[in-house]
Amino acid sequence: MSNFNEYFLMEEKDVLLYVKNKLKYFSQDDNIICKEIGDGNINYVYRISNGKDSIILKQAGVHTRSNSSGRILDINRNSREADILSFYGSILPDLAPKIISIDRVMNLFVMEDLKSFLVLRDALMKGQIYHHLQEQITDFLVETTLSTADFFTDPFAKKENVIKYTNKELCKISEELVFREPFFNVLKENVFSKSLNKFVEDNLYNNKQLQLEAAKLKYEFMNNPQALIHGDLHTGSIFVNEDYIKVMDCEFAFYGPIGYDLGTIIANFIFSYVYHLYVTKDKNYTSFLFNVIDNTLKLFKNKFISKFLNECTDISAQNDYFIEYYLLEVLKTGFGICGLELLRRTTGCARVKEIESVSDDDIRRDIEFTLLNIGIECLSYRDRLSEEEKFMKFVDNIIDNINL
C-alpha cells in the first residue's frame, strides 16, 4: 500500500505521502500540509498546500460516506469524472478546472485549486452579481451536449462512448431520488415542514397524473442516450469568480437527455430566487436572478439553433422543421426536470442551503410551499412551457397566486 500500487481509501497522512512520493508535484524540500475539505457524500476531497501553491486531490470510496442507504459505488467513477473534466477543458478551457494527474489504480485525480473562486450557490445566496453567468452557463450547456450528440459526431464513436460512460450506480441514485422518492417516499427519508404533510400527500403521494409525468421523464432518462450530460448540474457544482465559471463534480455524467442539465440548473437558480424573495427581500437582486433565468433560456435556444445550423454534419437533420422539433423536445424535458429537481430537493434527503439555512420555521415553510407549487406546475405544464417565451412570468404568476 505504501507504494500506492493497490487501491485503498486514503486519509490525510496517506495523501501527504502520495503527493510527496508518487505525484512529486511540490519540491521535496517543501513543507506541505493536507486538509480534507469535501462535504459531499460520495467522494473524499483534499487540499494540499506548500503555503504558496495548492492542489486538490479527489478520491473515490466504495460506499457513500453516510452509507445509510447501504449503496456500494463503482470506484472507477473518479477516473471517468477526470476524463470528462478533461473533455470539458478541451472544448471550453476557461470553464473547467485543469486536470494535473489521473491515477486509475488509486481511483483519484489531482486538479488545480480554484481557491480564487466561490461556490456559485454560496455566492448567489450572498447576493453576488455576475454578468457573465448566463452567457457562460449556456456555452457549457450547448457545447458539451451537442458536440457529443448524433448529427454532430461520428455515429460509431458516439455508440462506443455511450458504453464507455455507462454509469449504472449513480444513475440508479438519480432514478430513485429524482424520479421516485418525491412521489412514493420508499426510503422514508423525505423531510419537510410538518404543516405541509397534507399538501404533499394530496399533491405528490396521491397525484397519479403528476406521477405519470415523472414516470415519462424517468423512462426518457433511462432510455434516451442523446448526449454526454453532466447529470448533476446545480449551483453547488459550479464555481465562479468575476471572470469565469468552472463546472465541477461530474461524477453523475452519462449519455442521457440533453434537457436534464438545463432543467437542473434552472431549478437551482429558482432556489436562489425564492430564497431572496422570502429572506433578504432584495428586489434588485431578485430582478437580477429573474433576468438570469429568462436569459439563460433565451440564450440556450439561440445557441442551440445556431450550432445546429452551422455545425450539424448530417443532411437529414439540416432542416428548420427538424431543428424546431428537436429543440422543443429538449425544452419539454428541461422544464419537466426543473419541476422534479424543485420537488426532490424540497422534500427529499438532498436538500439545499436555500432551505436548510433558514432558521425561522414559518419562513422556511413558506419557501418550501412556494417551491413545491412551482415544481408541480413546471412538471404539469412542461409541454406548454416549451413554447413560452417568458418563463419567469409563469413562475411569478404561480407565486402571486399562492395562498400562504
pLDDT reported for residue 1? 52
- pLDDT band of residue 42 (cuts 50, 70, 90) is confident
Looking from the CA of 208 toward its CB, the CA atoms found within 13 Å total 0
> Is pLDDT at 178 greater than 90 in this prediction?
yes
Contact assessment for residue 300 and residue 258, using Cβ atoms and an 8 Å cutoff: no
Is residue 99 within 8 Å of 327, Cβ to Cβ? no
In order of 88, 173, 353, 385, the CA distances from 320 in angstroms are: 28, 37, 42, 20
Instruction: Name the nearest CA neighbour of 241 among 136, 384, 376.
Output: 136
What's the pLDDT tens digit per position in 84-96? 999 999 999 999 9
Amino acid at the residue 42 = I
Locate cell 419567469: which residue?
392
Mean pLDDT, rounded, of the chain: 95
pLDDT confidence band for 194 (50 / 70 / 90) = very high
Using 50, 70 and 90 to split pLDDT, how confident is the model at 76? Answer: confident
Measured between alpha carbons, how far is 368 from 271 in angstroms, rounded to an integer? 10
Closest to 158 in 3D by CA, of 166, 149, 145, 169: 149
Domain spans of the chain, in order of start: 12-112, 118-400
pLDDT at 393: 97
pLDDT at 28 over 90: no
Percentage of the chain with pLDDT > 70? 97
pLDDT digits (tens, 9 = 90+) for 15-26: 999 999 999 899
Cα 344 to Cα 339: distance, rounded to the nearest angstrom: 9
Query: In this predicted structure, what is the pLDDT of residue 327?
Result: 98
Partners of 33 in the β-ladder: 49
- Name the residue with cell 403528476: 210
Asked whether residue 53 carries a pLDDT value surpassing 80, the answer given is: yes
- For the domain bounded by 118-400, which CATH number is listed? 3.90.1200.10
The whole-number pLDDT of residue 72 equals 73
pLDDT at 183 over 80: yes
Q: Domain 12-112 belongs to what topology?
A: Phosphorylase Kinase; domain 1 (3.30.200)
Residue 43: strand, helix, or coil: strand
Q: What are phi and psi of 54, to 5 degrees?
A: -150, 155
pLDDT of residue 77: 85
User: Could you tell me whether strands 118-119 and 99-103 are parallel, antiparallel, or unpaired per DSSP bridges?
Assistant: unpaired
pLDDT tens-digit readout, 298-328:
999 999 999 999 999 999 999 999 999 999 9
